[in-house]
A and B are shown apart, each in its own frame.
Chain A
């Protein structure tokens, strides 16, 4: 357990960030959703652990953004994107 944990810390792939920090065209995997008023709505529309997403478009001021998630495209505002915790992944599916 300790061993695994150490690997994840050393490996830059496992750096956690919020969805709003992901740049245009980059992909990421959801690791968790913060608990707040948007949680349920996010989970309902398909944002939950281990799902992969790609940032497809950002409007002026990066708010709202558009991500592809599975087969659908979802737009969400910056404050909602800030409650989606992701880790970056390299290859787009």
Chain B
């Protein structure tokens, strides 16, 4: 079989490139990471009756001169790899800026076509384009399309299927502007781009780039004057956006609105997601207890019911929150409000090395860190995204709540209980910001920090894009983080159910298992914090999920009751067997609370972090830093309150 031919999709951010990509490739999509960057490489297959094409959706950018590592992918793909055709996606609502990038791409001398996307915006805007004339001026086929509704797609596919692809004339022409200063000959644009790509930036290059862009803009303005026409409606269109922005960007009302919207988002995540989560939880509980009605073979049934099924359940339980967060995220992003959030919060967030867009991931970290990490994709610069990812685990996620509830109710005096819980939440936020600030001061980056960003006109999100975004968040999570979570769940079960006795592997109760041997062997390490080996086991097993802490303690103390009050009372009454002193004193309680507030005691978070950063370096770093912080603060607290 001949090698599959490659088609590149290039365009500005927000030009509807992704929805065109979805339309062309349907379900045949694949998402991978570019080596060394966090940008996702989205590729898919377009099936036509003659042959298949591989379509690659490149990250959106404004020009071929990259402003970030992620944008560098575009120029690299253009000049260093062969591709059959370039589909340039132009945003109908901002043709001028789209054509700037287009003329640069066209001058790289590759066959290309132009798709003017979101064509419905044109009539709403009161603009008309003479497509034939524009096509003649640019020298390539120009298509009108509305990828969100699927209009105009057939014509594009038909063209790809039947035409020979041709490159157009140089837009810029051969010019002495692009001189290679080392050997003094004029370069064509492709060679110039190659030269810029390989050469360190200097003042001459910068100046040439600037002259080039202004030259292009002037020429584009002339073309657009000839080929587009504005009606009186044109200025009416932006009126809605202007009206809304008067409120949304207002220095006082804007912040109130933002607060309300974020509060609503948080409430939805916290409350609405809890119903499907409870259903899933009881469903998997039911499956497990149904399995236990079978007798043989016993070890296998137990393995399924206690390790595999809870493991799968432990992965699926995150799906409602991830889906819901991405629903809200896509809504905010596509409606155009996300850019307003950045506008309002940039000044505050950038002090900590975060982006205005970090607010949503951080806030949803209060529900669960897993979906929060996945939602950091919207953050434009590499560094800000990394800092956000590393900061999220400090936020008080909902899995910490059952642990806090137990520990607070059995060790903290009644009148301080509310304040303690509030204090733990605040502690999370303060340390998150502090950690972000420290990271910001210490992470070196070549990326320039700037915020020159468009505030797009408000528009209604398309249902299809929302669905695709949710799908693209959920499936990779299940496939990558999920595998890891299930494996750890199985390993923990094996450690908790077996022991070596007379050189034979033997099924046993958790008290005598490998896990308890490990718990006993780490006792010297956790004793300074005021914990005994049973707490040690609970700490280890809660690595599967923090709330497992409570149920492990209940198992260890052989409490049969389902009633929370009884469990709490029984745990509270535990005494050290040797000294007959109570185990859960105020000092031990505060120490444990601080340990849980800081320690990255969650394998799913680590797996998600690995998935988002593409390396084990960051989860490991994060785990160590947070462990040291947890250990030292717990140690200090125990010795102060003792």
Whether A59 contacts B344 in the complex (CB less than 8 A), given A43-B210, A71-B238, comes out as yes
- Interface residue? A15 (CB, 8 A): no
Question: Does B346 contact A45, Cβ atoms closer than 8 Å?
Answer: no
- Interface residue? B206 (CB, 8 A): yes
Query: Chain A 18-41, CB within 8 Å of chain B: the 1/0 string?
Result: 000000000000000101011111
- Interface residue? B249 (CB, 8 A): yes
From B100, B250, B347, B452, contact of A41 by CB (8 A): B452
Question: Does A75 contact B342, Cβ atoms closer than 8 Å?
Answer: yes
Whether A38 contacts B454 in the complex (CB less than 8 A), given A59-B343, A64-B346, comes out as no
Q: With both chains docked as a complex, state the minimum distance between the C-beta of A60 and any C-beta of chain B, in angstroms.
A: 6
> Dominant SS at the B interface?
helix
Q: With both chains docked as a complex, state the minimum distance between the C-beta of A29 and any C-beta of chain B, in angstroms.
A: 15
- Interface residue? B642 (CB, 8 A): no
Number of interface residues of B (CB under 8 A): 40
By a CB distance below 8 angstroms, the chain B residues around A70 are 96
By a CB distance below 8 angstroms, the chain B residues around A73 are 241, 245, 454-455
- Interface residue? A74 (CB, 8 A): yes
Question: Does B339 contact A75, Cβ atoms closer than 8 Å?
Answer: yes
Whether A48 contacts B214 in the complex (CB less than 8 A), given A38-B452, A39-B206, A61-B347, comes out as yes
Query: How distant is the Cα of A77 from the Cα of B454 in the complex, in angstroms?
Result: 12
By a CB distance below 8 angstroms, the chain B residues around A37 are 448, 450
By a CB distance below 8 angstroms, the chain A residues around B451 are 64, 75-77, 80
From B61-69, B161-169, B536-544, the one touching the partner chain is B61-69
- Interface residue? A82 (CB, 8 A): no
**Smallest CB gap from B252: residue in A:** A60
Query: How distant is the Cα of A42 from the Cα of B254 in the complex, in angstroms?
Result: 26
Question: Does B249 contact A66, Cβ atoms closer than 8 Å?
Answer: yes
- Interface residue? A57 (CB, 8 A): yes
Query: How distant is the Cα of A61 from the Cα of B238 in the complex, in angstroms?
Result: 26
Q: With both chains docked as a complex, state the minimum distance between the C-beta of A19 and any C-beta of chain B, in angstroms.
A: 12
Query: How distant is the Cα of A57 from the Cα of B253 in the complex, in angstroms?
Result: 13
- Interface residue? B330 (CB, 8 A): no
**Smallest CB gap from B356: residue in A:** A64
- Interface residue? B209 (CB, 8 A): yes
**Smallest CB gap from A48: residue in B:** B214
Q: With both chains docked as a complex, state the minimum distance between the C-beta of A55 and any C-beta of chain B, in angstroms.
A: 11
Q: With both chains docked as a complex, state the minimum distance between the C-beta of B214 and any C-beta of chain A, in angstroms.
A: 5
A38, A40, A58, A60: most-surrounded residue (chain B CB, <10 A): A40
- Interface residue? B172 (CB, 8 A): no
Query: Chain B 431-462, CB within 8 Å of chain A: the 1/0 string?
Result: 00000000000000000101111110000000
By a CB distance below 8 angstroms, the chain B residues around A76 are 450-453
Query: How distant is the Cα of A4 from the Cα of B594 in the complex, in angstroms?
Result: 73
From B63, B250, B343, contact of A44 by CB (8 A): B63
By a CB distance below 8 angstroms, the chain B residues around A71 are 93-94, 125, 238
- Interface residue? B498 (CB, 8 A): no
Query: How distant is the Cα of A61 from the Cα of B217 in the complex, in angstroms?
Result: 33
By a CB distance below 8 angstroms, the chain A residues around B324 are none
By a CB distance below 8 angstroms, the chain B residues around A63 are 346-347
From A56, A60, A77, contact of B450 by CB (8 A): A77
By a CB distance below 8 angstroms, the chain B residues around A77 are 346, 450-452
**Smallest CB gap from B93: residue in A:** A71
By a CB distance below 8 angstroms, the chain B residues around A59 are 249, 251, 254, 343-344, 346-347
By a CB distance below 8 angstroms, the chain B residues around A46 are 96-97, 217
By a CB distance below 8 angstroms, the chain A residues around B242 are 56
Query: Chain A 53-93, CB within 8 Å of chain B: the 1/0 string?
Result: 00011111101101000111111110010000000000000
Q: With both chains docked as a complex, state the minimum distance between the C-beta of B86 and any C-beta of chain A, in angstroms.
A: 19
Query: How distant is the Cα of A56 from the Cα of B254 in the complex, in angstroms?
Result: 14
Whether A57 contacts B97 in the complex (CB less than 8 A), given A43-B214, A80-B452, comes out as no
- Interface residue? B629 (CB, 8 A): no
Query: How distant is the Cα of A64 from the Cα of B451 in the complex, in angstroms?
Result: 8
Q: With both chains docked as a complex, state the minimum distance between the C-beta of B72 and any C-beta of chain A, in angstroms.
A: 14
Question: Does B62 contact A44, Cβ atoms closer than 8 Å?
Answer: yes
Q: With both chains docked as a complex, state the minimum distance between the C-beta of A76 and any C-beta of chain B, in angstroms.
A: 5
Question: Does B448 contact A60, Cβ atoms closer than 8 Å?
Answer: no
Question: Does B453 contact A74, Cβ atoms closer than 8 Å?
Answer: yes
Whether A40 contacts B210 in the complex (CB less than 8 A), given A73-B245, A75-B343, comes out as yes
Question: Does A72 contact B454, Cβ atoms closer than 8 Å?
Answer: yes
Question: Does A66 contact B209, Cβ atoms closer than 8 Å?
Answer: no
Within 8 A of A (CB), among B38-91: 62-63, 65, 67
By a CB distance below 8 angstroms, the chain B residues around A74 are 452-455
Question: Does A45 contact B97, Cβ atoms closer than 8 Å?
Answer: yes
- Interface residue? B359 (CB, 8 A): no
Query: How distant is the Cα of A38 from the Cα of B453 in the complex, in angstroms?
Result: 12
Query: How distant is the Cα of A63 from the Cα of B451 in the complex, in angstroms?
Result: 10
Q: With both chains docked as a complex, state the minimum distance between the C-beta of A81 and any C-beta of chain B, in angstroms.
A: 10
Question: Does B452 contact A42, Cβ atoms closer than 8 Å?
Answer: yes
Within 8 A of A (CB), among B525-558: none
Question: Does B343 contact A57, Cβ atoms closer than 8 Å?
Answer: yes
- Interface residue? B153 (CB, 8 A): no
Within 8 A of A (CB), among B328-352: 339, 342-344, 346-347
Within 8 A of A (CB), among B215-251: 217, 238, 241-242, 245, 249-251
Across the A-B interface, give the 6 residue pairs with the lowest CB-CB distance, nearest first. A57-B249, A73-B455, A44-B62, A44-B63, A76-B452, A43-B213
Chain A residues in the interface with B (C-beta under 8 A)? 33, 35, 37-46, 48-49, 56-61, 63-64, 66, 70-77, 80
A–B pairs, 18, beta carbons within 8 Å: A41-B62, A41-B67, A41-B448, A41-B450, A41-B452, A43-B213, A44-B213, A46-B96, A58-B251, A59-B346, A64-B343, A66-B249, A71-B94, A72-B455, A73-B454, A75-B346, A76-B452, A80-B452
Contacts A38-B448, A44-B63, A75-B455 aside, 18 further interface pairs with beta carbons under 8 A come to: A35-B206, A35-B207, A37-B450, A40-B67, A40-B210, A40-B213, A41-B448, A41-B452, A44-B65, A57-B249, A57-B343, A60-B347, A66-B249, A66-B455, A71-B94, A72-B97, A75-B346, A76-B450
